[in-house]
Amino acid sequence: MARRRIAAAGDVFPTRGRRVSALGPARGGTARDLVYAELRRRLTTGEYAPDVALVPGVLSAEFEVSRTPVREALGLLEQEGLLRGTSRGFALRIRSESELVDIFETRGVLDAAAAAAAADRRDGIDLHRLQDLTARARAESDPTEVRQLFNAWHDAVRLAARNATIADLLHTLDAQAKVSAPWRPDEADRSYDDRCDEHEAILTAIVARDSEAARSLMLEHMRRDHEERVRGALGSRNH
Protein backbone atom coordinates (compact mmCIF):
# COMPACT_ATOMS: atom_id res chain seq x y z
CA MET A 1 0.00 0.00 0.00
CA ALA A 2 1.37 3.43 -0.91
CA ARG A 3 2.45 5.65 1.97
CA ARG A 4 0.02 8.50 2.61
CA ARG A 5 1.56 11.92 2.08
CA ILE A 6 0.69 15.08 3.98
CA ALA A 7 0.32 17.96 1.61
CA ALA A 8 -3.19 19.31 1.36
CA ALA A 9 -4.50 21.80 3.90
CA GLY A 10 -6.63 20.03 6.45
CA ASP A 11 -4.79 16.68 6.27
CA VAL A 12 -3.51 15.40 9.59
CA PHE A 13 -1.07 12.80 10.84
CA PRO A 14 -0.86 11.00 14.19
CA THR A 15 1.98 11.55 16.63
CA ARG A 16 1.96 9.95 20.04
CA GLY A 17 -1.78 10.28 20.32
CA ARG A 18 -1.82 13.84 19.00
CA ARG A 19 -2.99 15.11 15.63
CA VAL A 20 -1.03 17.82 13.85
CA SER A 21 -2.98 19.88 11.34
CA ALA A 22 -1.49 20.47 7.91
CA LEU A 23 -2.51 24.10 8.26
CA GLY A 24 0.60 24.15 10.48
CA PRO A 25 3.29 26.84 10.32
CA ALA A 26 2.87 30.02 8.35
CA ARG A 27 5.46 28.88 5.82
CA GLY A 28 2.83 26.95 3.92
CA GLY A 29 1.97 23.71 5.63
CA THR A 30 4.26 21.46 3.56
CA ALA A 31 5.26 18.05 4.89
CA ARG A 32 8.66 19.46 5.84
CA ASP A 33 7.08 22.32 7.76
CA LEU A 34 4.75 20.00 9.65
CA VAL A 35 7.50 17.58 10.64
CA TYR A 36 9.75 20.50 11.60
CA ALA A 37 7.06 22.07 13.80
CA GLU A 38 6.24 18.82 15.60
CA LEU A 39 9.88 17.85 16.16
CA ARG A 40 10.67 21.35 17.42
CA ARG A 41 7.75 21.14 19.83
CA ARG A 42 8.99 17.81 21.15
CA LEU A 43 12.54 19.09 21.52
CA THR A 44 11.56 22.24 23.40
CA THR A 45 9.08 20.54 25.73
CA GLY A 46 11.44 17.80 26.86
CA GLU A 47 9.69 14.86 25.19
CA TYR A 48 13.00 13.44 24.00
CA ALA A 49 15.63 12.02 26.34
CA PRO A 50 19.10 13.63 26.05
CA ASP A 51 20.51 10.45 24.44
CA VAL A 52 17.73 9.99 21.87
CA ALA A 53 18.70 9.04 18.31
CA LEU A 54 16.52 10.70 15.66
CA VAL A 55 16.72 8.43 12.61
CA PRO A 56 15.15 9.75 9.37
CA GLY A 57 13.79 6.35 8.37
CA VAL A 58 12.07 5.82 11.71
CA LEU A 59 10.56 9.31 11.70
CA SER A 60 9.48 8.89 8.09
CA ALA A 61 7.46 5.82 9.07
CA GLU A 62 5.99 7.55 12.13
CA PHE A 63 4.84 10.64 10.25
CA GLU A 64 3.88 8.69 7.10
CA VAL A 65 5.87 10.91 4.77
CA SER A 66 8.90 10.26 2.58
CA ARG A 67 12.40 10.64 3.99
CA THR A 68 13.10 13.84 2.06
CA PRO A 69 10.90 16.22 4.13
CA VAL A 70 12.10 14.50 7.31
CA ARG A 71 15.75 15.05 6.40
CA GLU A 72 14.98 18.66 5.47
CA ALA A 73 13.21 19.25 8.80
CA LEU A 74 16.08 17.70 10.74
CA GLY A 75 18.52 19.85 8.76
CA LEU A 76 16.61 23.00 9.74
CA LEU A 77 16.72 21.98 13.40
CA GLU A 78 20.45 21.37 13.09
CA GLN A 79 20.92 24.85 11.59
CA GLU A 80 18.92 26.25 14.49
CA GLY A 81 21.37 24.69 16.92
CA LEU A 82 18.97 22.15 18.42
CA LEU A 83 20.42 19.00 16.85
CA ARG A 84 23.78 17.65 15.70
CA GLY A 85 24.45 15.11 13.00
CA THR A 86 25.66 11.62 13.94
CA SER A 87 26.49 8.41 12.07
CA ARG A 88 22.96 7.14 12.79
CA GLY A 89 21.05 10.34 12.09
CA PHE A 90 20.70 13.19 14.56
CA ALA A 91 21.04 13.71 18.31
CA LEU A 92 20.20 16.54 20.69
CA ARG A 93 22.86 19.21 20.77
CA ILE A 94 23.75 19.44 24.46
CA ARG A 95 25.73 22.58 25.22
CA SER A 96 28.83 22.93 27.36
CA GLU A 97 28.77 25.17 30.42
CA SER A 98 30.45 28.04 28.54
CA GLU A 99 27.99 27.70 25.64
CA LEU A 100 25.05 27.76 28.04
CA VAL A 101 26.40 30.90 29.70
CA ASP A 102 26.75 32.54 26.27
CA ILE A 103 23.17 31.63 25.32
CA PHE A 104 21.64 32.89 28.56
CA GLU A 105 23.73 36.07 28.67
CA THR A 106 22.75 36.95 25.10
CA ARG A 107 19.11 36.14 25.78
CA GLY A 108 19.18 38.37 28.85
CA VAL A 109 20.59 41.33 26.93
CA LEU A 110 18.01 40.94 24.16
CA ASP A 111 15.10 40.53 26.58
CA ALA A 112 16.27 43.67 28.40
CA ALA A 113 16.36 45.54 25.09
CA ALA A 114 12.85 44.27 24.34
CA ALA A 115 11.60 45.52 27.72
CA ALA A 116 13.08 48.96 27.07
CA ALA A 117 11.51 49.10 23.62
CA ALA A 118 8.18 47.91 25.04
CA ALA A 119 8.20 50.81 27.49
CA ASP A 120 8.49 53.20 24.54
CA ARG A 121 6.14 51.48 22.09
CA ARG A 122 3.47 49.62 24.06
CA ASP A 123 -0.19 50.42 23.61
CA GLY A 124 -3.29 49.77 25.67
CA ILE A 125 -3.77 46.27 24.27
CA ASP A 126 -0.21 45.34 25.22
CA LEU A 127 -0.71 46.59 28.76
CA HIS A 128 -3.99 44.72 29.15
CA ARG A 129 -2.35 41.51 27.93
CA LEU A 130 0.61 41.88 30.30
CA GLN A 131 -1.58 42.75 33.27
CA ASP A 132 -3.85 39.77 32.59
CA LEU A 133 -0.94 37.32 32.33
CA THR A 134 0.64 38.73 35.49
CA ALA A 135 -2.58 38.30 37.46
CA ARG A 136 -3.22 34.81 36.14
CA ALA A 137 0.30 33.65 37.02
CA ARG A 138 -0.09 35.04 40.54
CA ALA A 139 -3.36 33.12 41.02
CA GLU A 140 -2.23 29.82 39.45
CA SER A 141 -0.95 26.98 41.64
CA ASP A 142 0.05 24.34 39.08
CA PRO A 143 3.82 24.69 38.36
CA THR A 144 3.54 23.74 34.69
CA GLU A 145 0.69 26.20 34.11
CA VAL A 146 2.63 28.94 35.91
CA ARG A 147 5.66 28.34 33.69
CA GLN A 148 3.49 28.55 30.57
CA LEU A 149 2.04 31.85 31.80
CA PHE A 150 5.53 33.15 32.51
CA ASN A 151 6.60 32.23 28.98
CA ALA A 152 3.50 33.92 27.56
CA TRP A 153 4.30 37.04 29.62
CA HIS A 154 7.78 37.26 28.12
CA ASP A 155 6.33 36.73 24.64
CA ALA A 156 3.92 39.62 25.33
CA VAL A 157 6.80 41.92 26.30
CA ARG A 158 8.60 41.01 23.07
CA LEU A 159 5.43 41.64 21.08
CA ALA A 160 5.05 45.06 22.68
CA ALA A 161 8.65 45.88 21.69
CA ARG A 162 7.66 45.89 17.99
CA ASN A 163 11.10 44.56 16.99
CA ALA A 164 10.94 41.49 14.76
CA THR A 165 14.71 40.98 14.76
CA ILE A 166 14.87 40.73 18.55
CA ALA A 167 11.84 38.43 18.56
CA ASP A 168 13.36 36.10 15.95
CA LEU A 169 16.71 35.89 17.73
CA LEU A 170 15.02 35.19 21.06
CA HIS A 171 12.85 32.52 19.45
CA THR A 172 16.02 30.61 18.53
CA LEU A 173 17.84 31.26 21.81
CA ASP A 174 14.81 30.16 23.83
CA ALA A 175 14.74 26.86 21.96
CA GLN A 176 18.47 26.27 22.46
CA ALA A 177 18.09 26.95 26.18
CA LYS A 178 15.09 24.63 26.49
CA VAL A 179 16.95 21.74 24.83
CA SER A 180 20.16 22.03 26.87
CA ALA A 181 18.82 23.48 30.13
CA PRO A 182 15.14 22.52 30.38
CA TRP A 183 13.00 23.99 33.13
CA ARG A 184 12.03 21.48 35.81
CA PRO A 185 8.94 21.74 38.06
CA ASP A 186 11.06 21.07 41.15
CA GLU A 187 13.24 24.15 40.65
CA ALA A 188 12.82 26.08 43.89
CA ASP A 189 15.65 28.60 44.15
CA ARG A 190 13.12 31.39 43.80
CA SER A 191 9.46 31.14 44.66
CA TYR A 192 6.84 31.81 42.01
CA ASP A 193 5.78 34.81 44.07
CA ASP A 194 9.28 36.24 43.73
CA ARG A 195 9.15 35.81 39.98
CA CYS A 196 5.70 37.41 39.87
CA ASP A 197 7.06 40.33 41.91
CA GLU A 198 9.82 40.79 39.35
CA HIS A 199 7.34 40.70 36.48
CA GLU A 200 5.16 43.27 38.22
CA ALA A 201 8.13 45.60 38.74
CA ILE A 202 9.06 45.36 35.06
CA LEU A 203 5.44 45.94 34.06
CA THR A 204 5.27 49.01 36.30
CA ALA A 205 8.27 50.45 34.43
CA ILE A 206 6.66 49.64 31.08
CA VAL A 207 3.41 51.31 32.14
CA ALA A 208 5.38 54.39 33.24
CA ARG A 209 7.29 54.42 29.93
CA ASP A 210 10.53 54.24 31.93
CA SER A 211 12.65 52.39 29.40
CA GLU A 212 15.86 52.41 31.43
CA ALA A 213 14.16 50.98 34.51
CA ALA A 214 12.47 48.33 32.36
CA ARG A 215 15.82 47.40 30.83
CA SER A 216 17.62 47.21 34.18
CA LEU A 217 14.89 45.22 35.92
CA MET A 218 14.58 42.74 33.05
CA LEU A 219 18.35 42.25 32.89
CA GLU A 220 18.44 41.38 36.60
CA HIS A 221 15.39 39.14 36.26
CA MET A 222 17.01 37.20 33.41
CA ARG A 223 20.34 36.98 35.27
CA ARG A 224 18.64 35.14 38.11
CA ASP A 225 16.89 32.79 35.71
CA HIS A 226 20.19 32.22 33.92
CA GLU A 227 22.00 31.23 37.12
CA GLU A 228 19.27 28.80 38.19
CA ARG A 229 18.84 27.14 34.80
CA VAL A 230 22.55 26.65 34.15
CA ARG A 231 23.15 25.34 37.66
CA GLY A 232 20.19 22.96 37.35
CA ALA A 233 21.29 21.69 33.93
CA LEU A 234 24.86 21.01 35.02
CA GLY A 235 23.69 19.42 38.26
CA SER A 236 21.38 17.00 36.45
CA ARG A 237 24.25 15.84 34.23
CA ASN A 238 26.34 14.93 37.26
CA HIS A 239 23.72 12.58 38.75
- Whether 190 shows a pLDDT value over 90: the answer reads no
pLDDT of residue 210: 99
The answer for residues whose C-beta is within 8 angstroms of residue 99's C-beta and 6 or more apart is: 180
**Helix axes 164-180 and 143-161, enclosed angle (nearest 10):** 150
Give the C-alpha separation, 31 to 69, whole Å. 6
- pLDDT over 70, % of the chain: 83
Is the model's pTM score more than 0.85? no
Q: Are 134 and 200 in contact (CB under 8 A)?
A: yes
- 186 or 29, which is more confident: 29
Question: Per residue in 54-88, pLDDT tens?
Answer: 999 999 999 999 999 999 999 999 999 999 999 98
Query: Residue range 166-186: average pLDDT?
Result: 89
Query: In whole angstroms, what is the distance from residue 146 CA to residue 139 CA?
Result: 9
Angle at 199 between CA 197 and CA 202, to 5 degrees: 110
DSSP per residue, 54-110: E-HHHHHHHHTS-HHHHHHHHHHHHHTTSEEE-SSSEEE-PPPHHHHHHHHHHHHHH
How does residue 185 score in pLDDT terms, banded at 50, 70 and 90? low
Comparing 157 with 24, the larger pLDDT belongs to: 157
Q: What is the DSSP letter of 21?
A: E
- What whole-number distance in Å separates Cα of residue 16 and Cα of residue 10? 19
Confidence of residue 130 (pLDDT cuts 50, 70, 90): very high
Q: What is the mean pLDDT of the chain?
A: 87
Closest CA relative to residue 92, chosen from 102, 104, 100, 84: 84
pLDDT tens for each residue of 4-61: 333 332 333 334 434 333 324 444 589 999 999 999 999 999 999 999 999 999 999 9
Q: Domains (ranges, CATH) in the chain?
A: 12-92 (1.10.10.10), 97-237 (1.20.120.530)
